[in-house]
Structure 1
């Protein structure tokens, strides 16, 4: 259940908030809307603009902490631990708001650990600025659902469409993916062979991604719809396999029906091809 109380925050091995020696004294930027990057164009010879789509810039989170040691030495240990966990980063790390069911991918960009010799005893303060190039707020739970491919090898006859995949599937070959956030989610799609020319249709919105390739038993393709990376065996780029005119399926807020179709291999092992859809609830 959603709660207004901030609760615990996880950063690497450190936990801030209730039950820890790092009290959360301030938080800005989590529920705020990041700066808008508008694509408006001036109306030539007229007042006003032609309004284009609005996109957000990065999210910046300001976090204030109160360090609560039992002795001056304990306070120093807390300070060193926080310093060691807030080093410059090559890649973003997960900042998890455990009781808010929120995850962001962040880098520490500023850190303040002031020393007050006049009043310092066992209590201190700290301030962190965390930069989120990806401004989305994600659910903590990574959700996943799978289905086997809808293929003529199932023993029924289906109309062959212009894209060489098989026509409307029945109950098999379809899954429901529910995005409980307020923004479109970018799923990661994994296609396991054996299958020829696999097709993934976002039935709810009409987006269809078609792969012009054959995957044998034991081979798979990993597709990241956000970065549009297409990786054979999870590492070798195969973007050229995406058929021209394909559209990348997103998960709109609410329920999304996904259809998976493909052709069975003539000398197949009888093992069904599998589509796995993985996503997180997503909001801004």
Structure 2
């Protein structure tokens, strides 16, 4: 009986030892699994969050981030909280978040289409603008057109800061516009074309007749009424390079022409403008 009992005890002892060893191996395996599966994730997370600090050279002091404009910061409170949301939050004794600073907003200036139109004009451009005979131009806007167009009445010789700086003479004038204290003046030279008409004022008759033409005007040749300051419509019959000693005698279009012409030297005396009273 004792022999059988002893064998049973030995078997239980061996079984207990095997269970203990098996438990140890289970613990070792669990530790290894923890080291392989869990620990690298924790280190990776630590590295990711502390990368800025670990990248500093040995012995170097960490520097605060700069502001968005590239200006170095003297400390967290010198930067707007919107730039560094982690700085300046509430805490004991140190006060709350510093007040945000904002650059003053620039005043909104309404666009001025007329000023823009004037500033878009350059010397050499042509405009569909003319004197109506009522002391004003047909348009306050300098309407640009191709210089070969039928309504290209004016040629811009220069752009100045005041109308007084523009040349003044027969067939020359200016139009200007002032906006926000700045004046843009367009120096105009009339483009004359055969077949067009302009306004004039005649005084006297016969050998005493005088004709004062509005050389910057344009009018319908068949107009039934004219502005009060004028009483004649002149028809342009010729635009010639002015010869030496040019006069109305140079306006004849055919041999023996007996038409009564009125003429002017325009374009600084280089062009002879020939006209006659419009007969319809």
Q: TM-score, normalised by structure 1?
A: 0.24
Higher helix share: 2
- Greater RCO (Cα-Cα under 8 Å, separation 6 or more): 1
